[in-house]
Amino acid sequence: MASPSLDSPKLCQDIFSILESQFLFGTSPVRKASPRPTSPAGKVRILSIDGGADDLGAASLVRLESSLRRLSGDPSTTISHFFDLAIGSGSGALLASLLFANNLSASDASVLLRQISLEKSKTRTRFGRLFKKENKTLEKAFGEATLKDASKPLLITCYDLNTGAPFVFSRADAVEADGFDFKIRDVCEAALCQRKGSKEVKSVDGEMRIRVLDAGASTNPTAVGITHVMHNKQEFPFVNGLEDVFVFSIGGNGTRLSDAASIAGTCQADAVDQAVAMAFGESRKSNYVRIQGNRINTGSTPENILSETCVESVLFQGKRLMKETNEERLEWAAGELLKEQHRRRQSKIPPVFVKSAMTPRTSSSSAMTLTTVLTGSSESPRYC
């Protein structure tokens, strides 16, 4: 019998597992066990949006939401109905917040994202800095809402210059103590600073002060989201392994890199994608979906990127082109999300126990101004 090829991804993975077991944990190599069956409570669904993935992220989620509405037959369903947790970095944090804090449709969130980004770009001009123009759309979008007002678990990653360490804004922490509760508009504005500056954000009780610098325009927060779910047994009690989670991650547009900071950020995002994909192992084909540009046709629009062939991480081999396009992966993901939704309706075990906020601060006036921003009218809000 011929020996297996050293190019075999399965062989590489087996070798890596043996080395990890023997040299990292001091145990003898053992036969690889069969994958543990998924928890009877089902899979916890994580939405992760990279920093700098605003255009592709919005286009991907609009397409995903359209597929979910078509497959479910419900024209009013939104992205937040099909995910249990959202995490974002930079502009991805803003998109995640619009979806989970305001329960907006992906198309409405996309409109607000463009308006906020346009206003933010104006503040970077000399005239804007001179008069310190505020982002009115951002203020109207969230009003006085804080992290604890989000409808579902929400995480926003950043870097704290005060401590010189990463920091995660978390709804779960905000519910526990006002010292970890922050106004969403302040957090999102700080997250949009990226490499051009920093912003101090104070908690609602004034005790906690974070000087926020976005960790990088292409930072991939997926690993943080998975770690949060794995260790937050109060809200996700039935998650015991990666087979119990479904991750939908959106990366950057895949445009050509122009400076050292962009290169570093993109390399970091790709490194996280590689690590996450390898952690899932064979189950990454069913539990991990990554949407990103393949960098072949640089400068493509988000719509064109969705029609391009998608890429996947391969152990010890970087990335390779798949047979599917990003658009086809989105359609497949919509089907998987819908299957999980149907399974939950038939199950007596709820997979998620979201911590309840005892004193929500979202006011009706905040919801009213949001509708005015989107429609230019003063009608009753559709999503609040």
Contacts of residue 132, defined as CB under 8 A and 6 or more positions apart, other chains included, come to 123
For 160-189, the three-class secondary structure string (H helix, E strand, C coil) is: ECCCCEEEEEEHHHHHHCHHHCEEHHHHHH
Catalytic residue among 89, 97, 170, 262: 89
The CA-atom distances, in angstroms, between 6 and each of 11, 31, 227, 311, 317 are 7, 20, 32, 22, 12
How many CB atoms sit inside 10 A of residue 346's CB? 6
Reply yes or no on whether 60 is catalytic.
no
Which own/partner pairs from 109-112 qualify as long-range (CB within 8 Å, at least 24 positions apart)? 109/58, 109/61, 110/58, 110/59, 110/61, 110/62, 111/374, 112/137, 112/141, 112/373, 112/374
Sign of CA dihedral 151, 186, 366, 376: negative
* Burial class of residue 320 (count of CB atoms within 10 Å of its CB; 0-12, 13-18, 19+): exposed
The residues annotated with a catalytic role in the active site are: 89
